[in-house]
Amino acid sequence: LGAGIVGWSVAVQLLDALPNCRLTVVADQLDGETVSWVAAGSFRIENFEELCPDRPGQGRKWAADSFQHYLDLAVSGQGSSAGCLLLPLVQVYEDSNQTPPDYLQLAHSVATLTPDQLRTEFPRWPSLQCGWSCETTLTESRLYLPFLRARCRCTNLTVTRHRVNSLSELLDGSSCRLLFNCSGLGAAQLAKDPNVYPIRGQVFKVRAPWLKRAVIGPNGETYIYPGATDIVTVGGCRQPNSWSTEPCPDDASKIWSRATRLVPSVGGAETVNQLAGLRPARLGGIRVELDSTDSRIVHCYGHGGNGVALAWGTASEAVKLGLESLRRGG
């Protein structure tokens, strides 16, 4: 249930494990309608433990599994068709006591920026105190989602556009053996989970082929991400509990002002589009577990702004839980 990057990651891994099973992907939003389509898709996770506070070490495992998957794709012959690439990245801070973000534990070629580098590379932001550079991965969803879907083409796969009002609607009177709930924000209603809430984001998509390095400003609010083509994502904002999916002119003005201060050459880019989307967040962290009342249901939602970064790792655990439930006769 769900056709974003989490849902399709589950579908691919389930079919790898059970190639002869009949699989139906049900969603009311497909492809470009999903929030995955808006995401820049970088692997950049600030704090692993916040991903799943009740299970120490689990967030790091999801992250490590996902990073390895994207890294393997990026260096393979499938990287260009999958939209996965290696990405030089710099993140800077105004706090001199800032600790390194957790994703640097997995990224390659990590280096600390010197004061001279900060002054030289970011002359319009003199309050910067520290920063790091590294090589990470970027996964462009508009290429990666079709890539995942194509991996399922030669199977017993059905894709159905349908708005589901309850999980029982898909289970009652059906032959369904497993239901993976990857419904994102829809889990608030479908799983009756009051901890699910949106975090609104807004970005520019601009044409700037000269930009080859991602740059993230203080607090992660400002970012510039080159993609698999000449299109660059420029953002952003984080607005909890805002449900608007329309670009806001005031937000756009603030985003552009910060971005051109951080990377002045962005100012010469051609704007292709402005987009807004809702990150499906959850108080208490990501939920990957069997339902407590029906062992046919596996929940996998609440990724917030880390849906692309963590989709593969969380889907791997969800599929493992589902297969174990099948073996137990769940």
- SS3 of 183-220: the string is CHHHHHHHCCCCCEEEEEEEEEEEECCCCCCEEECHHH
pLDDT of residue 175: 87
Q: Tell me whether residue 93 is annotated as binding.
A: no
Measured CA distances, 103 to 92, 151, 275 (Å): 14, 28, 26
CATH code given to domain 1-41+140-194+283-330: 3.40.50.720
What are the structure tokens assigned to 156, written together? Answer: 């017993």
**Residue 329 in this model has a pLDDT that exceeds 90:** no
Mean pLDDT within 269-285: 96
What are the structure tokens assigned to 73, written together? Answer: 């794709």
Q: Where does the pLDDT of residue 35 fall: very low under 50, low under 70, confident under 90, or very high at 90 and above?
A: confident
Question: Which range (165-174, 208-217, 235-244, 263-272) has the least confidence?
Answer: 165-174
Q: Tell me whether residue 305 is annotated as binding.
A: yes
Q: Where does the pLDDT of residue 31 fall: very low under 50, low under 70, confident under 90, or very high at 90 and above?
A: confident
Could you state, in order of their start, the residue ranges of all structural domains in the chain? 1-41+140-194+283-330
pLDDT digits (tens, 9 = 90+) for 89-146: 999 999 999 999 999 999 999 999 999 999 999 999 999 999 999 999 999 999 999 9
pLDDT digits (tens, 9 = 90+) for 153-177: 767 889 999 999 999 999 987 889 9
pLDDT of residue 113: 98
**Residue 34 in this model has a pLDDT that exceeds 80:** no
Strand pairing category for 130-139 and 84-93 = antiparallel
pLDDT of residue 330: 57
241 SS3 class: coil
Whether the Cβ atoms of residue 5 and residue 279 lie closer than 8 Å to each other: no
Please enumerate, as own/partner, the contacts of 69-77 that have beta carbons within 8 Å and a separation of 24 or more. Answer: 69/312, 69/313, 70/43, 70/137, 70/139, 70/312, 71/137, 73/139, 74/137
Q: Tell me whether residue 26 is annotated as binding.
A: no
Q: Tell me whether residue 268 is annotated as binding.
A: no
pLDDT digits (tens, 9 = 90+) for 37-90: 777 899 999 999 999 999 999 999 999 999 999 999 999 999 999 999 999 999
